[in-house]
Amino acid sequence: MKLKDIYASSLTLLTDLYQLTMAYGYWKQGMAEQESVFHLYFRKNPFKGGYTIAAGLAYIIDYLEELRFREEDLAYLASLKGSEQQSLFEPAFLDYLREMRFTCDVEAIPEGTVVFPNEPLVRVRGPLLQAQLIETPLLTIINFQTLIATKAARVADAAKGNRVVEFGMRRAQGIDGALAASRAAYIGGAAATSNILAGKLFGIPLSGTHAHSWVQAFASEQEAFRAYGEAFPFDSVFLVDTYNTLEGVKKAIAAATELKPLGFKFNAIRLDSGDLTYLSVEARKLLDAAGFESTNIVASNDLDEHIITSLRQEGSKVNIWGVGTQMVTAYDQPALGGVYKLAALQQKDGSWSYKIKLSEQLAKTSTPGVLQVRRFLQENGYLADMIFNEAEKQPERVVVVDPVDSTRRKVIAPGTAYKDLLVPIFIKGELTYTAPALPAIKAKVQQELNALHESIRRYLNPHSYPAGLEESLHQFKIDLVLKLKE
C-alpha cells in the first residue's frame, strides 16, 4: 500500500504555511543548500507510561518518495497574496521549487521499536530548505501513529494473551484518522479491525458482529439470531444486550441449538453494556450448561487498559476485548507532542556549527549534534539507551546521564553489547530501506516489550528506563546553554 493509493492528489502542500515562508527566506538568503541536521523526537512518554512504540515510518517513506511540487501546487502558491496584496512568493522561487528533488539523508528507528523521551525517532540531514520543508508532515504522521500504537500495546498487554479487536472507526478523528489508527493499533497489538478499507489497504484481519438494529428489525431476538446464524453459519457473533442481556444469552443459545444440526458453529456472544464481570460470569455458566463451552465471550463498551485490567482481576470470563473510542482516539491523551528541531548547520570549511533551542524549562531545551541512539543489551533484555553525537569522537568511559536530572547516571561496563537504533532509510534522496511487512512489525512490538522489565510496563507509576545523553554530550549541552545565556 502507498499513500497515493489513498490520496490521489499531491500531498506536497500538506504542511504549515511557515514552512514555505521559511523556505522562501532561506532561498532569498542563499542558505537553501546549506547542509543541516534536524531531529524528530518527543519529550514525555504518553499516558504517563514507561515506554512508547515507534510507528508511522512506512507513511513517511511513501510521502518522501513522492515529494515534488507539481504544477497545481505551484499555481496555488503563485496565487497567494501578502497583506499588501503583493505575491507572497516571487516566480523565481517557484521555479526553484519546480526543479527541486528530495536529496536528504534520512535515518529512522524502525517501526515497532520501543523508544523513550528525547531519542530521535527520525534524523534528517541535507539541504536546509528541504529538511525544513518536511517538518510538519513528518510530525503529523509520526506523532499520531506512534501515539495509537502505544495505546494499543498497553491495551493488548492488559488483555494478557486474549484477542483485542479494534473497532473505533465511527469514533475516529475523520477518515484519515480511522485508517491510520487501524494500522497503528494493529502494529501495537490489536489482532483485527472492523475497518474494511484498512483491511483492504493494509492486509489487517477483519472482525465484526451485528448492531442492535439487526435485533430490532425482527419480531424477536431468537428469530434475529437464527437469521444471522443462517447467513453466517461459521462466523456469527450474537450481540445479546438489546433488551435484557441474560435473556438475550438464553435466546442466543436457543437459536444456536436450533441451528446446530445444520453444522452451525456458535462462535461468540458480545456484551456491550452493564456489569461486564457479572454478566460474563453468568453468561459463561449458561453457555457451558448448554454445551457451548468453546463459545467466546466478547466485551465492548468504552474499554481501555485500566478497565480491562480491573475486569480480569474481578474474575471476568471475557476472552475477546473489543476496543474502539479509547484506542483510536487515544482518549486520555490527544497528542504525543513530538517536535522537530534543528541541531547542526555545516559551515563552509566542513565543520559543524551546533544549534540549540533554549527554554525556561530544561526538558524543552533541545540537544545539539548529529545524534544517534545506542541501546545497550543484557542477557535478559535491554539495559539502557544512550543518545550521542556521532560527529564527535566518543570517550572510552561510557556514562549515560539523565537529561532532566544530571545526578542520575548509569555507567556502562566496557564490552557491553549494543545496537544503534537509527538506520538508513534514504541516502541522498534514494530509498535504501526495505520496510518489513505489517505482521512482522506487529511481532516486533511484543519482542520489544518482552525485553523490558515488567516494572517499566506497568500502568501506574512505572519505573523509568535508563535513557539519556552520553556524558560528554551532556556537558557540551550545558556549556552551550550557559554560553548562550551570558
pLDDT tens for 59-103 read 999 999 999 999 999 999 999 999 889 999 999 999 999 999 999
For 269-298, b/e burial (b = at least 16 CB within 10 A) is bbbbeeebbebbbebbebbeebebeebbbb
Residue 62 parent element (H or E): helix 57-65
| Mean pLDDT calculated for residue range 454-481 | 94
Exposed / middle / buried, residue 268 (Cβ in 10 Å: 0-12, 13-18, 19+): buried
Query: Does some domain include residue 271?
Result: yes
Query: Does some domain include residue 446?
Result: no
Query: Does some domain include residue 406?
Result: no
Query: Which structural domain range is residue 309 located in?
Result: 151-328
Query: Does some domain include residue 309?
Result: yes
Query: Does some domain include residue 469?
Result: no
- 475 near 482, Cβ under 8 Å? no
pLDDT band at 336 (very low <50, low <70, confident <90, very high): very high
Query: Does some domain include residue 287?
Result: yes
Q: Of 160, 170, 167, 162, nearest to 182 (Cα)? A: 167
Q: Which tens digit of pLDDT belongs to each residue from 142-158?
A: 999 999 999 999 999 99
Q: Which tens digit of pLDDT belongs to each residue from 229-258?
A: 999 999 999 999 999 999 999 999 999 999
Whole-number pLDDT of residue 1? 64
Query: Does some domain include residue 383?
Result: no
- Conformation bin of residue 315: beta by default, left when phi > 0, alpha when psi is -120 to 50: left
d(CA 320, CA 342): 45
Whole-number pLDDT of residue 363? 75
| Total number of domains constituting the chain | 1
- 233 near 259, Cβ under 8 Å? yes
Percent of the chain with pLDDT over 90: 93
Q: Which tens digit of pLDDT belongs to each residue from 195-215?
A: 999 999 999 999 989 999 999
pLDDT band at 107 (very low <50, low <70, confident <90, very high): very high
Alpha carbon separation from 259 to 214, 221, 237, 238, 325 (Å, rounded): 18, 15, 14, 13, 34
pLDDT band at 317 (very low <50, low <70, confident <90, very high): very high
Q: Which tens digit of pLDDT belongs to each residue from 4-57?
A: 777 767 899 999 999 999 999 999 999 999 999 999 999 999 999 999 999 999
Segment among 219-228, 441-450, 473-482 with least mean pLDDT = 473-482
d(CA 62, CA 67): 9
Query: Does some domain include residue 394?
Result: no
The separation between the first and the last C-alpha atoms of the chain, rounded to the nearest angstrom, is 52
Average pLDDT, the chain: 95
Whole-number pLDDT of residue 485? 84
Residue 257: give its domain's CATH number: 3.20.20.70
Whole-number pLDDT of residue 364? 82
Strand pairing report for 339-346 and 268-271: unpaired
- 411 near 399, Cβ under 8 Å? yes
